[in-house]
Amino acid sequence: GKTIVITGVSSGIGAETARFLRLKGARVIGVDRNEPLLTLDGFIKADLSEQAAIDAAFKQLPERFDALCNIAGVPGTAPVDLVARVNYLGLRHLCTRAVERIPQGGAIVNIASILGAEWPARLDVHKALAETPNFEAGLAFLAKKPVAQETCYQYFKEALIVWTLTQSQKWFLGLGVRMNCVAPGPVLTPILGDFVQMLGEERVQKDSHRIKRPALADEVAPVVAFLCAEESRWISGVNLPVDGGLASTYY
């Protein structure tokens, strides 16, 4: 079986992805700030908002693994600095460290969001941020171009999509490692309530009406697993919505 590292493994989509991949025979090493609720093949407790903590986690991770699923994330009700660190800068650092350990044919999957769909409007800014070479430089960039609390979640999901799409070109061509995003619509997990607070009751009601119900985590997990698997070996640099058709209803 394959060895797959999953962040955010202790709740919601991450926990379900771990369960699904283990059922399919993978060896799953989880990373989270909280203890996992399910049996894993390995677990590393780490705060993924800190570069030093990510580097420390890498000391405990296997020398080689086949895929990395970046599922840890915080909602936009968290402080902007934390959203920047966990949802973008830390995630990017994880990818950069992981790609040294993932052999040709391996994959990285980053969880974005359909709320990251407005990136064309800020493409230049996101490209400039994507070009910052590391965590520290990213922080310095953001210190000069502060991001508003109200839109920080969307901003960093957009930035994640732009970084994933641009960086994946280099890694796929150069190393044979694929990298893609999955963009869920509303999913029934503990942070769904934070999205109501973030977006307002009205928007959430409207979206819920358009698709009738939020997704269950087990409707997202198999898609993440697919993007880790051989069967998706010619898919790289895409952002795949898993939203019950919600995004299509805006056209």
Instruction: Report the catalytic residues.
Output: 153
Task: Indicate which single residue of 4, 5, 6, 10 sits in contact with ligand NAI (rule: CB under 6 A).
Answer: 10
How far is Cα 49 from Cα 82, in angstroms, rounded to an integer?
7
In single-letter form, the type of residue at position 6 comes to I
Based on the shown chain and the rule CB under 6 A, indicate whether residue 139 belongs to the binding site for ligand NAI: no
Considering the rule CB under 6 A, would residue 83 count as an interface residue with ligand NAI?
no
- The torsion angle over the Cα atoms of residues 72, 200, 217 and 191, rounded to 10 degrees, is 40
Segment 94 to 133, residues that bind ligand NAI, using CB under 6 A: 111, 113
What minimum distance in Å lies between the beta carbon of 148 and ligand NAI? 18
Distance CA 19, CA 115 (A): 26
* CA Rg value for the chain: 17
Q: Which of 59, 133, 190, 234 binds ligand NAI (CB under 6 A)?
A: 190
Q: Quick one: tokens of 6? A: 């999953």
- Cα dihedral angle (118, 119, 124, 126), rounded to 10 degrees? 130
**DSSP tag of 42:** E
Name residue 194's amino acid: D
Q: Between residues 186 and 244, which has the closer beta carbon with respect to ligand NAI?
A: 186
Q: Which residue lies nearer to ligand NAI by CB, 110 or 232?
A: 110
As a whole number of Å, the end-to-end CA separation of the chain is: 42
With CB under 6 A as the contact rule, the residue among 67, 74, 152, 162 that binds ligand NAI is 74
| Region of 4-12, 99-107, 117-125, 168-176 interacting with ligand NAI (CB under 6 A) | 4-12
Instruction: State the residues that interact with ligand NAI by CB under 6 A.
Output: 8, 10-14, 32-34, 47-49, 71-74, 86, 111, 113, 184, 186-187, 189-192, 195
